[in-house]
Amino acid sequence: MKRRKKKRCEMPEEDKKTSIEEEKAEAEAAATTPEENDAKDAKISELESKVKELEETIADLKDKALRDAADTENYKKRLRADKESAVRYANEGLIKDLLDPLDNFSRAVEAAGSTGDIESIKTGVSMVENQLQSILRNSWGLEPYSPEGEDFDPSEMEACLVQEDENLDREKVLQVLLKGYKLNGKVIRAAKVMVGKPKKN
């Protein structure tokens, strides 16, 4: 429970004197000199300056973050455009390589309309086919394969017809109906074949 503070007039003389001195000491402690006030003002000014500096730094960082985000978005757009262009023109080299054989094929067709020499036409078409095969093999890694007489391999061949043969001890390709193609060693079209299989007794 709080003690009621005695009024000075109620205090004995000696206590009055002590109370006055205590109040005076407190007042002196609370009082600041002009130098102390100047120091406080300088400290406040320094803190305000630091706050302003930090606010400017934050504003700069926000601006940089926005610019970086915009740059990233532009970069993504460029990547998308480059990818679309790459997909659209992925076969440009192949098409360019095929233009000469295409021109030669057109010339062969024109020649076929103006001559009755079947052998010349056959020779011209054969030359175009050889040119095409050479370009696709040498520049693009396309290899035809015709596995007649080989063991049947379902990973590279598609059996369209099957014929039993008592002279066979395992499945063999009797006839190639449509040759297959490999692109750099990978089968892109399986050869369609007629398969001979051993006859069951």
- List pLDDT tens digits, range 66-106: 999 999 999 999 999 999 988 888 888 889 999 999 998 88
Whole-number Å distance between alpha carbons of 159 and 195 = 6
Rounded-to-integer distance, Cα 199 and Cα 195, Å: 12
Ranges of beta strands (E only) in 34-153 are 142-145
In 3D, which of 126, 139, 134, 142 has the Cα closest to residue 185?
142
| Over residues 121-135, mean pLDDT | 90
Read off φ and ψ for residue 151, nearest 5 degrees: -65, 145
Which H helix or E strand runs over 163?
A: strand 157-165
Query: Taking residues 26-48, what's their average pLDDT?
Result: 76
Query: Strand 157-165 and strand 191-198: pairing?
Result: parallel
pTM for this entry: 0.57
What domains, with CATH codes, occur in the chain? Answer: 144-201 (2.30.22.10)
Burial class (CB in 10 A: 0-12, 13-18, 19+), 29: exposed
Tell me the per-residue pLDDT of 137-157, one tens digit each, with 9 for 90 and over: 999 999 999 999 999 999 999
Cβ atoms of 156 and 193 within 8 Å: the answer is no
